[in-house]
Chains A and B, each alone.
Chain A
Amino acid sequence: MDRRNSRRDAEGNSVITANRLLDGRIVWLAPNGQWKTLIQDAKLYPNSTVEEALKVRTAHAQENGLVGIYGVQVTQTASGPLPVTSRERIRAAGPTVHPDFTPDWHAPHPAPHA
Chain B
Amino acid sequence: MSHAPSAALPVGHYSYDAVDRTFLKQRVAQFQDQVERRLSGALTEEEFKPLRLMNGLYLQLHAYMLRVAIPYGVLDAAQMRTLAHIARTYDRDYGHFTTRQNIQFNWIRLEDTPEILNVLADADMHAIQTSGNCIRNVTADQFAGAAADEVLDPRVYAEILRQWSTLHPEFTFLPRKFKIAISGSQQDRVAARFHDIGLIAREGDNGRPVFEVFVGGGLGRTPIIGVRLRDDLPEEDLIAYLEAILRVYNAHGRRDNIYKARIKILVQALGAEEFLSQVNAEFSAMDRARYRLPEATVEAIRARFGAPDFAPAGDAAEKLVAQRKSDHAFDAWVRTNTHAHKQPGYASVTVSCKPAGGIPGDVTSAQMDLLADLADRYSFGELRITHLQNVVLGHVRQDALYDVWQALEKNGLGEANIGFITDIVACPGLDYCALANARSIPIAQKLSSRFANADLQREIGPLRLNISGCINACGHHHAGHIGILGVDKRGEEAFQITLGGSAGGADASVGQILGSAMSEDETVDAIARIIDTYLSRRTAGERFIETCRRLGTAPFKDAAYAPA
Contacts and interface: CB of A to CB of B under 8 A. Distances in A.
Interface residues of B, number: 36
Nearest to B89: A111
A38 to B, nearest CB: 14
A90 B439 contact: yes
A6 interface: no
Nearest to B359: A97
B491 A95 contact: no
Given A22-B111, A86-B430, A86-B493, A68 B62 contact: no
A26 interface: yes
Contacts of A7: 491
Interface string A59-97: 001110001100000000000000011110011001111
A86 B438 CA distance: 8
A112 interface: yes
A107 B45 CA distance: 27
Contacts of B488: 4
Interface string A93-109: 01111100100010100
Contacts of B491: 4, 7, 84-87
Best-surrounded residue of B59, B92, B432, B491 (most CB of chain A within 10 A): B491
A25 B359 contact: no
Contacts of A94: 62
A23 B109 contact: yes
A97 B89 contact: no
Best-surrounded residue of A2, A87, A111 (most CB of chain B within 10 A): A87
Interface string B92-129: 10000000000000001111100100000000000000
Contacts of B59: 19, 24, 67-68
A70 to B, nearest CB: 12
B62 A21 contact: no
A97 B442 contact: yes
Contact of B112 (A4, A19, A87, A111): A111
B4 interface: no
Nearest to B435: A2
| Chain B at the A interface: SS class | mixed
Interface residues of A, number: 32
B39 A101 contact: no
A79 B441 CA distance: 27
Contact of B41 (A25, A62, A86, A96): A62
Contacts of B89: 111-112
B109 A113 contact: no
Interface in B2-54: 38-39, 41, 44-45
A32 B314 CA distance: 76
Contacts of A85: 491-492
B90 interface: yes
Contacts of A26: 61-62
A63 to B, nearest CB: 8
Given A19-B59, A96-B442, A90 B431 contact: yes
Contacts of B44: 62
B110 A87 contact: no
Nearest to A103: B62
Contacts of A111: 89-90, 112
Contacts of B378: none
A23 to B, nearest CB: 4
B358 to A, nearest CB: 10
A25 B110 contact: no
A22 B439 contact: no
B224 to A, nearest CB: 26
Interface string B49-71: 00000000001111110000000
A4 B441 CA distance: 22
B445 interface: yes
A24 B115 contact: no
A37 to B, nearest CB: 11
B443 to A, nearest CB: 11
Interface string B417-445: 00000000000001110111011011001
Contacts of B60: 24
Nearest to B493: A86
Interface in B282-321: none
Contacts of A21: 38-39, 45, 110
A107 B63 CA distance: 14
A68 B442 CA distance: 27
Contacts of B92: 98, 101, 105, 107
A19 B108 CA distance: 13
Interface of A: 2, 4, 7, 19, 21-26, 61-63, 67-68, 84-87, 90-91, 94-98, 101, 105, 107, 111-113
16 contacts: A7-B491, A21-B45, A23-B110, A24-B108, A26-B61, A67-B45, A85-B491, A86-B439, A87-B61, A95-B432, A97-B439, A98-B431, A105-B92, A107-B92, A111-B90, A113-B115
Interface of B: 38-39, 41, 44-45, 59-64, 89-90, 92, 108-112, 115, 359, 430-432, 434-436, 438-439, 441-442, 445, 488, 491-493
